[in-house]
Structure 1
Amino acid sequence: MTEKTLQYKFHPENLKRSSPGKYKEEDLKREEMIINIGPHHPSTHGVLRLEVLTDGEIVKDVVPHLGFLHRCFEKHAEALPYNQIIPYVDRLDYVAAMNNEHAYVMGVEKLLGLEGQLPKRIEYIRVLTAELNRLASHFIAMGTYGMDIGAMTAFFWLMRDREIILRMFEWISGARLLYNYQWVGGLYYDLPVGFEERCFELIGYLKPKLEELEKLIINNKIFVGRTAKVGVMSIDTAINFGVTGPLLRASGLKHDLRKVDGYSVYPEIDFEVPIGKGAMGTQGDCWDRMWVRLEECKQSIEIITQCLDKLKKDHRRTRDFDAWAMVPKKIRPKAQDLYMRAENPKGELGFYFRADGKSDVPFRCKVRSCCYSNLSVLSEISKGAYIADLIAIVGSLDFVLGEVDR
């Protein structure tokens, strides 16, 4: 780069003209300020910059600025065979990798016409691991949320319990965070001998712990004071912004893809879908969102228990989990467009595939990110809140930037 180019690039006028941000200082009214929160602030839950327009302590507008963590997942997917994309799928919402894999492999299997043809044991293990990961994801959501608003005990308790789940995952896959366990047409391997018994012990341990957490945090007077009637999201607002998952259910809409779409073996499992009722404030507030996550943890325990019962009684252990008889060595689907979605811990994760019928590499693999859509509602539900309440609202959305900046 020449000296003349450098002088032009870093000239004050050019820096001012190219400065990012919606608001400029010369446009502000007398009492207004622009405050930048992030991108390296703990409460932004990743590298997210929030451009906050304030009037004193009141938030007038919030503009999320993304793009600090580009993963280029979709470009990677256009250069890799279908089965080699799974490790990259893990890295979207990296605290719910099993759930990511479940949605992706179901999509590829649907491309191949294998939907509903897999052995039931495979399906039950997939649901078992997905629900264990739902617990681990919600534990992070509730634990870090406690830290956001000043409650350290919840974080320590929930990280302690999440550690047990991670050790279980390490036992079955060899990894603690990014698993590559669910494969197209099957699994990496069957559950280790003794896994079901250990899982039953884990369930017995977690049930009273969730009751303790509800008393210590969710129904705590200070916690209720910080979250009730804060960041209220109506059903109409949630639908208009494409919000899904616990956020949508906290607003009162009983919409869960495990029930609506009935994929895998979820139709054979009995569980409830909790929705927010405004018990401590207003329906769809921050308290409702955390309460729904806690109730979903209880329902996940019921699902896991039923899966374990089925695995122990009805389905024998097998080594044939590659299902090579059904899945060709080179996955080359017929030319088609297909969309597959699943209920992730944070909402609807969807994969849109376009296969050209000629290659074992997808022509297009587009991700419908629940975290991205859920983050889009932040500005709408934050207007008129205090700055301290903005931190509580951001935490209640429970997004992971690896999926937002995919």
Structure 2
Amino acid sequence: MTGKLIASVAVSALLSSLAWIILQLNHLLGVLLFISAVIVPPLVFRNYYSKRPLRLAPFLIISLILMLLLMPPPVTGPNVEFGLYFATGCWGRKADTWPLGGGELTYSCNKTVAYSTILVSGVAWKSSGVRLPVLGRYVTLYEPREKADNAYSEAAKRVESEGYLGIVENYVSDSDIMRDALFARDGECVYLAETRILGGGLAVISARGPCRGVKGFALRWHDDYLWNASEPPTFVRYRFNWSSNGSVRVGKLDLSDWPGEWVRNTYKAIEIELKGTGYVKLMEGKSGDCRWSLWTRGGESHYVALKGKEILVLSGKTTEVKNSAEKLSPCGLRNGREVRGTTPEEVLNAVIAELNGSLVLKPAGEPALWSLAGKEFLTSVGEKNVSVNLLVYGIRGQCDYARYLLDASDGETTSICLERRGYFVAVAVKGEAKNVQFVLSSIKQPKRT
């Protein structure tokens, strides 16, 4: 018979969970469900409770306690107002919002970016959603996608009607951005983006003004991590115990006080940094709690091994590093397999061949900006020469930072970032807007989904 008490409590808990969800959408229905959570179970099991009325007391006590325990955690994240502020840098409507129309929330202001003043505006719509009981996870039930789509399309039409030329779509690499485009006219640019924002909502963002400022605003989310780095920063920032074994440097990092996941993430971070500094993976292996990899660049190599919570690094000439790994590393080269990673130079040559299918590229020297591999070219569009810089990087962040430096430096350079064979290639085109548009439109890019 105790089973029916448990079953009635379970039904009450289920109704309470549903009540907490409905309460966020409709206050009255939520309250009614809370009431039903303590009325419906005794009615369903009325034969049981009619014979044992004293069991109603523990049922009510347990049900009310569970009702409180199932309450979703309080909201601690940002709201849509903050989300639009974060996306625009504006708080309130302080300037013209052209080319945007209206929205549930509208912000606009003047901002100084890349030594130029631009006008930034944004309109937003809040999504409908609920927070799940206990977990507090936010689940979106409705996104105002149609409103945002229409606002973006109408804004793009207004921009084009004023004589602006669409130079490039998918200008910014951001998973929250659903679509974006850059327009230009006589040294002035307009950037439009339809994006998800913090707080659970959709927004359409606009920036217009001098091109260097508009591009700088669009590409503002960047950092200089691994920029112009020749060796992994982790080797310096973390407390490796370095010593020498002949001509091979030996580094040991004891992370016994760290959680296992942090240790594994540190090993992964070293591999990312090796790739970002131009090293190419030659071999890797895994055996039990051992994992290791061998990286090379111009005859120099790094062997990185993780066993338990200790990371071992061997650095030196490739042959000597391999020999030392067999002797000094608890992982050795066990279960090793060749990876044959692509080099930055091979990626550069592949992109050159790809572009030569639609453009005629004439070598013009080495690019001034740092990269793992790069070339500068000239190509003819009509009677005008256009400069094309190809710069290969190991991680997305390096490519984004390079684009910011290039595009925000003057008003004539526009770049995109291509992902090719695990590397990221900045393609920077400098020239008149219509010629830049012609060159960039000839490059295949994956469409956003």
Q: TM over 0.5, yes or no?
A: no
- Greater helix percent: which structure? 1
Instruction: Output the TM-score relative to the length of structure 1.
Output: 0.31
Bigger Rg, which one: 2
Task: Calculate the TM-score normalised by the size of structure 2.
Answer: 0.29
